[in-house]
Amino acid sequence: MWIGTLYALAAGLMWGLVFINPVLLAEYPPVLLSVGRYLAFGTLALGLAWFDRATLRRLTRADWIEALKLTAIGNLLYYSCLAAAIQRAGAPLPTMIIGTLPVVIAIAANLRDAHRDGQLPWAQLAPSLLLLSAGIACVNRAEWEALRAAPGADLLRYASGALLALVSVACWTWYPLRNADWLRRHPDRSPRGWATAQGLATLPLALAGYALLWLAMPQLRAGFEMPFGPRPWFFVAMMVTIGLCASWLGTLCWNAASQRLPTALAGQLIVFETLAALAYAYLLRGQWPPALTLLGVALLVAGVLWATRIQPRALPAAGPVTGA
């Protein structure tokens, strides 16, 4: 349980980096940030594939199709929406909307996967969910007050950013549930190999997306210099960093956590991503979080610690249906 929790923590620290990338590259289109990140991830996966060749050789056509689905929705679509949300609403608001994932995934997994993983008793899970929800509400309240106090704030732009963040939530509710399905069906497979397989599956999609953007960019953004934009070296460095740390290493750690933890519990531990992203955002701002935000962070941590104490209970097998 604790080894799985530490893997989830490491994944959260890596994934938190993706929330500051759209802020550091604010002049870049969100879709370019997404395909650039996963083009770097896929290219790195080509080199890593040698070390995971034994696992990759065992993958069937159905496995590769599953990896393609996971990367299309959980990687490219998710990050395109998230990057656009952050550029439109700033980092903290989308971060906290994404922060609802622990609650959403825990409920979805407890309803969907109870017979496979055992059910986390709702009475014991409720305090954790309430703490997580209260923590997210506190941070959202602090950000909303800061937004209203800002001169010239574009509320419509922030609202569109919030909607895009909700699409990201939908993508990443689907991804960990579906990814855990494959990992739990293949407990003998290497989590690192499955992370590399997803990187390889991402590569053709990212290449196609990059090529289409290159052709369309003159019409979409006049004067934007393809292929690497106005700050080519910084853009490439960020894509490689995010591709290696967040995409490959983060996925590796998350896969290791998913093999060790019930899906309902693992879903709650995505809160580590939210905490890391908030810390990075305030470091980038050069500000100390307000008291309400710190209270929210404390509630989030308390909710996670409570959740790690809950042991799943096996549900009784359904008996045969008998007639009268």
Q: What is the pLDDT of residues 104-114, one digit of tens each?
A: 787 788 778 76
- pLDDT of 264: 67
What digits encode the pLDDT tens for the residues 128-138? 888 888 887 88
- pLDDT of 323: 46
* pLDDT at residue 320 greater than cutoff 60: no
End-to-end CA distance of the chain: 46
* pLDDT at residue 14 greater than cutoff 80: yes
Q: Report yes or no: 210 and 36 within 8 Å, Cβ to Cβ.
A: yes
Strand partners, 313: 119
CB atoms within 10 A of CB 218: 11
Displacement of CA 12 from its chain's centroid (Å): 8
- pLDDT of 254: 85
Distance between CA atoms of 13 and 166, rounded to whole angstroms?
22
- pLDDT of 321: 46
* pLDDT at residue 233 greater than cutoff 90: yes
Average of per-residue pLDDT across 61-86: 94
* pLDDT at residue 117 greater than cutoff 90: no
DSSP state of 318: P
Token pair, residue 8, equals 């989830």
* pLDDT at residue 324 greater than cutoff 60: no
* pLDDT at residue 322 greater than cutoff 60: no
pTM for the predicted model, two decimal places: 0.81
* pLDDT at residue 318 greater than cutoff 90: no
Average of per-residue pLDDT across 193-199: 88
CA–CA–CA angle 186, 35, 37 (5° rounding)? 70
- pLDDT of 201: 94
What digits encode the pLDDT tens for the residues 253-286? 988 888 888 776 777 787 788 889 888 988 988 8
